[in-house]
Amino acid sequence: MLNGDAPASKKSRKDKDKKSKKSKSKSASTEPEDTTEKEDKEAKKERKRLRKLQKAEAAAASGESTPKVGNEEEAGAEVAGSTDAESEKKAEKAKRKAEKEARKASKRAKKDAKESATDSSAPSGSSSESYREDPALTALPQSEIDSFLSKHFVAVTDPKASAPLRPIVSFAYLPVTNESEREPFKNFSAPTPIQAASWPFLLSGRDMIGVAETGSGKTMAFGVPCIRAVSSLSKKSKGPRAVIVSPTRELAQQINDQMVKLATPAGLSVVCVYGGVPKEEQRRALKTASIVVATPGRLNDLIDEGAANLSQVNYVVLDEADRMLDKGFEQEIRKIISTTSASNARQTLMFTATWPPSVRELAATFMNDPVKITIGDNPTGELRANTRITQTVEVVDPRGKEQRLLQLLKQHQSGAQRDDRILVFCLYKKEATRVENFLRAKGLRVAGIHGDLSQQQRTSSLDAFKQGKVPLLVATDVAARGLDIPAVKMVINVTFPLTVEDYVHRIGRTGRAGQDGAAITLFTEHDKAQSGALINVLKAANQPVPQELLKFGTTVKKKSHDAYGAFFKDTEDMKPAKKITFDD
């Protein structure tokens, strides 16, 4: 009977406990619970769960070590043992599952961090660890490096280091992953000074300002590091990773041709974006192209339409930056750069022929501790003409310019010089058309390039001139800057340009790539306001100044107007503007 009474007494105690708990819960429900009471309840529940678990374990242990005392106790022990075993299995299974999920999450986090570092940090593949100086270059005596820098007037200013990186004076010292990367240079004996000096810094991921004359090999200078930087990025995401901005359509096409040669072996695609042609094909190409070469106006149009997404771009090149600012593209340039990656995740390059305050201000806004490399005996970046160009200025009657032009062409295109390329510059489109027709009527092979022609006609004329099909090209200032037209023997200015800066850029079409050139300018009384500035350019290049030109005066006119104010003004020392708000 004792065995039978024990369970009964336990039952009665349990019933009493339940009743007391119910009464407590009812009374508690009538009063509002604070957070402390809730915490106490949770703690009690946890203690109760632990006590149950301990009891179940104790029951299972006693069932194994002592003889069974009746059917009820045996059944209870079996149930407790099976319940405990099942709960342990479930707990173990849940633990293994949680560990597995944790491992997966850890792998995903590491992978995401790696991709984020690759795509968003300082341009991957362009970090300082990606450039290793060739041992043969390191072994060169310092005197040889100094001789190269002195001979080519290379000046390097690095805010991060006192000693600049050694220039890559031979293509053999350019680090490559395979020899096919040297293929674009097979027709060149050595890198140009701007290439040699800039490659070490650009391959190290640095921002850079290059001040060099036109025709100095700047496209390859920024093109080679561009391919390296883009090739090293993740291939999963599509869309542009580099953008190169230039002032004119012709220059953009020229850069595009060079970039295609570099990008094709690396499996990268390049798109050229410029105005004057339909947008649809450009929109399609922008979806998959890795590198964008563009003019500011058309690229901004495509950005506004949502067709050009530059958010992943971390390699930006501004070519002929001073020219773009002269043409009024500053706001477009700022907008383009602002749509790319942040400055600390972007490598920004700026190439310019001059170093005016407007270019300096742009560099200060968008660049991080840029290296400045100046090529030539002009470390301040002041406007100067190429000293390899022989400049001749003839003061003539305005009505006799075309006849004098014809005489010069017959003189310089005869006999063995019959096919020499000569570039003839006019000031206005209608003047260019008139001169072109005049020369053609005289039996000369001539083509024209100016703003009134379609893009197809301009491209056709330029190609015919480059290939030597026509030895004469009549152009306006659209061809005065940046175009790489090989073997131009002479430039003739039929009409002097509006500024002496344009004059320097015009004659810069000859005497390129280390060659000598010649420039003849027909100067009239209508151009006398430019005489002082022209005389200064001639003197700076050690060129003769004719007495007829000196008669017009040596005063340099300021670019200002009584009504419209200064066309150019140094704003560095000006006080900051104040915002004035007027009541409605």
373 and 209 Cβ atoms separated by less than 8 Å:
yes
Q: What are the two backbone dihedrals, phi and then psi, of residue 37, each rounded to the nearest 5 degrees?
A: -60, -40
**Residue 557's pLDDT band (boundaries 50, 70, 90)?**
low
For the chain, give every residue range classified as CATH 3.40.50.300.
Answer: 128-375, 389-566
The CATH number given to 389-566 is 3.40.50.300
Looking only at the bridges linking them, the beta strands covering 560-561 and 565-566 are antiparallel
Assign 346 a pLDDT band (cuts: 50, 70, 90): very high
pTM of the full structure: 0.63
- Cβ within 8 Å of residue 501, ≥6 positions away: 326, 354, 383
How confident is the model at residue 109, as a pLDDT?
Answer: 56
**DSSP at 574:** S
Report residue 59 CA to chain centroid gap.
75
Report how far residue 263's alpha carbon sits from residue 335's, in angstroms, rounded to the nearest whole number: 26
pLDDT value for 1: 42
Q: Does residue 104 carry a pLDDT above 60?
A: yes
Average predicted confidence (pLDDT) for the chain: 80
> Which pLDDT band, with edges at 50, 70 and 90, does 289 fall under?
very high
Cβ–Cβ < 8 Å for 350, 209 = yes
Instruction: Average the pLDDT over 374-383 and give the result.
Output: 70
pLDDT at 445: 93
Q: How far apart are the first and last CA of the chain?
A: 103
The region of weakest confidence among 318-327, 424-433, 434-443 is: 318-327
Task: Identify the three-state secondary structure at position 437.
Answer: helix
Residue type at 383 in one-letter notation: L
Q: Residue 512 pLDDT more than 80? A: no
Query: Stretch 312-333: mean pLDDT, rounded?
Result: 89
**Cα Rg, the chain, nearest whole Å:** 39
Can you tell me the mean pLDDT for 510-529? 89
Rounded Cα–Cα distance for residues 372 and 169 (Å): 18
> Which tens digits make up the pLDDT trace of 18-68?
455 444 444 444 444 454 555 566 666 667 766 666 666 565 555 544 444
Cα separation values, 124 from 203, 222, 231, 308, Å: 10, 16, 9, 22
**Helix H segments across 327-428?**
330-338, 357-366, 401-412
Residue 386 banded pLDDT, cuts 50, 70, 90: confident
Cα–Cα distance measured from residue 192 to residue 218, given in angstroms and rounded to the nearest whole number: 9
Q: According to CATH, what is the number of the domain 128-375? A: 3.40.50.300
For the chain, count helices (H), then strands (E).
19, 16
In this predicted structure, what is the pLDDT of residue 408?
95
Q: How many CB atoms lie within 10 A of CB 395?
A: 19
Place of tokens 């003004």: 569
**81 pLDDT above the threshold of 60:** no
Give CA–CA dist 314/344, Å, rounded.
Answer: 9
The answer to whether 300 and 332 are in contact (CB under 8 A) is: yes
- The lowest-confidence range among 6-15, 82-91, 106-115 is 6-15
Amino acid at 281: E
